[in-house]
Structure 1
Amino acid sequence: MTIRQQQFRSRLEFSSSEEWRHYVETRVPEGERDFVIASGLTALYVRFHEVRDIRIPKDLLEALTKVTTLGEPKRTAELNTLNARLFDGMSRFLFANLSSVPTPRTEENADTIIAGVVTGLERENASFALWSSYERAQRKGSHLPTWEQYVQALLASEEPHSIEFTLSMGTLGQLLRQLSEQRKTISPLLINRIRALHREREGQERNLAARMVLQELLEAVTPCTSA
């Protein structure tokens, strides 16, 4: 299924997120951009389910069909919520299948590359640095709440989008650790996008960029064998 975007092109027509973002910024009216970007994510997420023959819950499919009948800003907000549900399902699927996928051979310095990415993030990205501090304390045996509880308590006075971004940095840290353990590397372009996340405009745009990066890392950790 697809979310209708009036006369706009589908995200699936573009080979990279950079090309897609350029199209949205130059060809889509400003008032439509948030919804078109969210619709683009929906197209990617639905395609992910289709190629792996993963069933999307009926109530979620119905909600995706009805979302276009809503007015703004409710339409975009609702679609972002539905996208979050789709993404959560994708994450659970990939993590559940980690052990069944063989680890391919990669360059011997793959773990060094990932370590460099982590070091850079700890220095430049305050939200990722918070995750690293939490993880180190956890490994030392400190009695800490879950990452979600920790962030919610620490950032209780912050905007929801800031809390969401900080939580996503924990997922980023976990995925980078898995890549290092599996001796896999990632492209220089993806590394640059990861390191640029904290410089994105705060709010929906930054969180969408983070979700796109996390999706690509999930794919790197568990390649699709059925696509």
Structure 2
Amino acid sequence: MSNLIVEGEVRLGEIQGLMDDGMVGKKVEFSLESDYPVFELGVEGYMLPYLAGENNFTIGVGELVQQVSIPQPESFAWSVPVQIQPDQETRIWIEVEQTINPKQAGVGEDERDLSFVWLKLVVKQANVKECLRQGNELVRAGNWDEAINKFRQGVDIEPEFVYNYFNLGKALAAKGDLDGAISYYQQGLAHKPDSGWGYYELGKLWEAQGNGEEAMKNYQRAQDCVPGWGLVERKIGE
């Protein structure tokens, strides 16, 4: 596997068809598993300069099969949207139409039937930190609905990662859903009960709901977590 560069956190099965020097013949195939959902898969490589014209590929990702034409000679980068669920073993394969035997073609001493050098497998995953990053970008763009969906996706992927709960609560509050916002802040604090910021934001939500008693309870908890925090002290002193 050392001859295959992988961008993404995945587990690969035995790679068949990838030679020790990184060259590929007629077909290469392997299996892939990921701890996170995979939403896009791509390959990057370089066609051998001895092949004339374009080379046609057949690429399979599970049940998805696509035909791809690569102009020759040049590097190529191909990608396709996929839906690979966590821990779902998926077969990946690439088969090319043209190969060349450099020695028989009089362009070298290599007697193998070759097609291209495979440089990189690019796996784009919906991991929890990526959901947080994309969700925050959507918030900055004012796209609250998509941000809410992205934060929810992060919560589903890894429930212990509390920041998607908090950001989801903040986004729901911006949309006017205070009940939903309070619920997600409470869920996040159940996973991280030492978050002074979480209690402070939850206190503000209860205050917006008109429930001063619950607001004060959460401000007090925030103060317990972060003694001397000026924002909280001012809230308690009001």
Larger Rg: 2
Per the normalisation by structure 1, the TM-score is 0.19
Q: Name the one with the larger helix percent.
A: 1
